[in-house]
Structure 1
Amino acid sequence: MRKLAETEDLSGLVRDALGPGCRVVAVDRLRGGSRKGVYRVRVDGAAVPTVIVYSWAEEENFWPDRRATDAEDPLAPASGLAPFLTARRKLDVLGARVPRLLLADDGRHRLPADAAVVEDVSADTLEALLERDPARASAALADLAATVDVLHGHLAPRYGRPDPPERGGTASGASCGQLVLDRALRDLEEASGREGRIAAAQGCLRDRLHALAARVSPRSEHGLVHGELGPDHVLVDADGRAVLIDIEGLMHFDVEWEHVFLRLRFGRHYPALSRPGLDPRRLDLYLLAMHLSLTAGPLRLLDGDYPNRAAMRGIAEHNLREALALLP
């Protein structure tokens, strides 16, 4: 049985952030997180009624395979206080709206894990508003589009995480296209071991990936991308601004990688985010690779005890079918 954070666990941390006069009255773990715990904490005696706490405790990580990942690989999972703080600083400098940081604790003074306390922007995600309040959502979507334009226009000659200045960024000899191909082949192999329909088409899918990758030329400039920018990772504040969350995966990369994800997640609302000049060859490769990633990842997560299992099965099934539909 996992031991997740409760009121007494978070009280000291929140008092450190808001002052000794505040008292925690309720703690709710928000759904959806698979690598960190996200808690809405209600308080009395403070200038704000609620805050959000991020906890990167081992107990909050539901992924069954926690082998060390290559820190030089921008497509490797990013999680932790350090990448969160680095991404937050970068976004703040560029004028992107992110939750205000109230406290960062990497000394594990209050929790047996790195943690952060941030502004509780809103309970409204852009995803929810697109269904419930189209007028308000439309303004926030336009603001998000402007933010994405700034990020994608922030070019760098090297791909990788926006590391602290002392590290200077990451890059290897491989192009972004080669990185995506290599990961897609790993995802294909992994998904084939868990799902018979993928296994039956493994050879055709492998050939298709290689054929698409052969059409992609290396590129010398890379935009800044969120990495997982769905409407559930955008909040809307009281001024109608789009607020980016789950930012640890921020990286310089081909912007087509982000646009494929935006198109998948925003669906009929994607035209507000679409831009001319995208490389159609990259889009073709990255679309198939993304569907394979969103098949293999959820299937791997289901090897463990992740609680929202029906949603993960649904994601895997949808992307499995979409991947197979891309075969010629």
Structure 2
Amino acid sequence: MSRMFLRPDDVRDLVAEQWGADRRVAALDRLTGGSKKGVYRLRLDDRTTVILYVWAAGENYWPPSPAVPDDPFTDASGAELFAANHAVLTAVGVRTPDLLMLDRAGRHLQADVALVEDVGAMRLEALLEQDPAAAAAPLAALGDALRRMHMTLSPRYGRIAAIARGDAPQARGTEDIITDRALGHLDAAAARDARLADAHERITGHVRHLRNAVPAREQYGLVHGELGPDHVFVTPAGEPAMIDIEGLAYFDVEWDHAWLRMRFGDAYSALRPVGLDPHRLEFYRYAQVLSLIEGPLRIADTDFPNRRWMLDLAEWNITKALAEI
């Protein structure tokens, strides 16, 4: 697939509408890291900078795959999800880049777009590596934000927008959704890797064993869905600002904490987590290992620019999945 990304002339009318005809585009830089939407830093001739999100087919590297119908985290992308989730995070006092403009009518581009505040280029991930002492305050503030999210409760699980529409089925427990999700990831990954094909029955048994230890639940917290230190920017004022929020949902908080433990490593304890069910946490952790095999192997079959990194990530998690059986 030949991908055509935005050029400064493509956003000229958008800039004129937003800031006036006397403003000019000085630069439009496509930022790395995004795989489902395009992320651009827009620089104006008065040195104003904002971030432009573009939800377009040409910006999405992910090929379609079989999905569990009631899994709220599958294909969690799009302007509708972004807008609904941004509003909820703002309401519970969680810092995320301010939403400046949302266009779902294609008035300037043949895609849904949003303009958001440019909170800078410092990710919490980089700060943890470069200056752990300086990362302590934003890390603690992130822990406070997560506790506010995880203690914002709902009797229903699912995507924010779907719950608001009354379109979030509750036919079964979240643990059964994750069982189907994990086994679907296993099936897809085993078709690409002989080691997983050979271990398919044993891995399936392990997934079911972990699921059977999980008690039922009927109350859910607000979760990010896939939060790592690369999904948090530290503003010039030292505030942690959450990004990639389209996967926000009401779900088991252990889903977030499985990601957090994996991604934050030794820094995880500084987040001071809420009380967790250890059985559900362990089950979700293993399900995410399988996800981090299937997803990277699938996107590595495309023209994604960092294919080697994805293959290495899959290999790392194949080793982890096999070691536990």
The reply to whether TM is greater than 0.5 is: yes
Q: Secondary structure at the match of 1:163?
A: helix
- SS in structure 2 of the partner of residue 26 of structure 1: strand
Residues 79-106 of structure 1 deviation map (CA, whole Å, 9 limit, x = unaligned) = 1100000000000000101111111111
Contact 1:142 1:272 in 2 (8 A): yes
Amino acid corresponding to residue 62 of structure 1 in structure 2: Y
Task: Give the TM-score of the pair, scaled to structure 1.
Answer: 0.95
**Which stretch of the first structure deviates more once superposed, 16-25 or 316-325?**
16-25
The corresponding residue for 1:59 is 58
**Residue 164 of structure 1: CA displacement?**
6.8
Distance 2:84 2:219 in 1: 21
**Would the aligned equivalents of 2:29 and 2:42 in 1 still touch at CA under 8 Å?**
yes
1:8 aligns with 2:9: yes
The separation in 1 between residues aligned to 2:109 and 2:100, in whole angstroms, is: 16
How far did residue 194 of structure 1 move?
Answer: 0.5
| Larger displacement relative to structure 2 (163-172 or 128-137) | 163-172
Question: Which of 107, 114, 117 is the matching residue for 1:116?
Answer: 114
The equivalences for 1:1-328 within 5 A come to: 1-45=2-46, 49-65=48-64, 70=69, 72-163=70-161, 167-168=165-166, 170-275=168-273, 277-327=275-325
- Report the AA paired with residue 53 of structure 1: L
Q: CA RMSD in A?
A: 1.6
Deviation at 1:44, TM superposition (A): 1.1
Whole-Å separation in 2 of the counterparts to 1:125 and 1:86: 24
Aligned residues of 2:68 and 2:180 also touching (Cα < 8 A): no
Q: 1:305 to 1:174 in 2, by over 3 A?
A: same
Query: 1:37-66: CA deviations, max 9, x gaps?
Result: 000111113xx6211000001100111227
Q: Could you list the runs of 4 or more consecutive aligned residues of structure 1 that deviate by over 4 angstroms after TM superposition? A: 66-69
In structure 2, distance between residues paired with 1:117 and 1:281: 41
Contact 2:220 2:250 in 1 (8 A): yes
Q: 2:82 touches 2:246 (CA, 8 Å); kept in 1?
A: yes
- Assess, with a 3 A threshold, how the Cα gap between structure 1 residues 164 and 253 changes in structure 2: closer, same or farther: closer
Deviates more, 1:206-215 or 1:72-81: 72-81
Aligned residue pairs, count: 324
User: Unpaired segments of 5 or more residues in structure 2?
Assistant: none
Q: Deviations over 1:138-166 (max 9, x none)?
A: 11101100000000000111111112775
Matched to 2:78, the amino acid is G
> Match of 2:53, as an amino acid?
Y
Structure 2 length normalisation: TM-score? Answer: 0.95
> Amino acid of the residue matched to residue 313 of structure 2?
I
Matched letter for residue 213 of structure 1: R
Report the Cα distance in structure 2 between the residues aligned to 1:153 and 1:18, rounded to whole angstroms: 39
Superposed displacement of residue 107, structure 1: 0.7
8 Å Cα contact 2:158-2:249 kept in structure 1: yes
**Relative to structure 2, which stretch is displaced further, 276-285 or 205-214?**
276-285
For residue 33 of structure 2, what is the amino acid of its counterpart? G
Distance 2:137 2:239 in 1: 8
CA contact 2:68–2:177 (8 Å) conserved in 1: no
Q: What is the SS of the residue equivalent to 1:102?
A: strand
SS where residue 115 of structure 1 aligns? Answer: strand
CA deviations over 1:150-195 (Å, ceiling 9, x no partner): 0000011111111277513613211111111110000000010011
Tell me if structure 2 keeps the 8 A contact 1:69–1:77. no
Structure 1 unaligned runs (5+)?
A: none
Work out the CA distance in 2 between the residues paired with 1:276 and 1:117: 34
The worse-fitting range, judged by mean Cα deviation, of 166-175 and 283-292 is 166-175
Q: CA deviation at 1:263?
A: 0.7
**Is the contact made by 1:259 and 1:274 (CA closer than 8 Å) also made in structure 2?**
no
CA–CA distance in structure 1, aligned partners of residues 168 and 187 of structure 2: 27
Identity of matched residues, %: 47
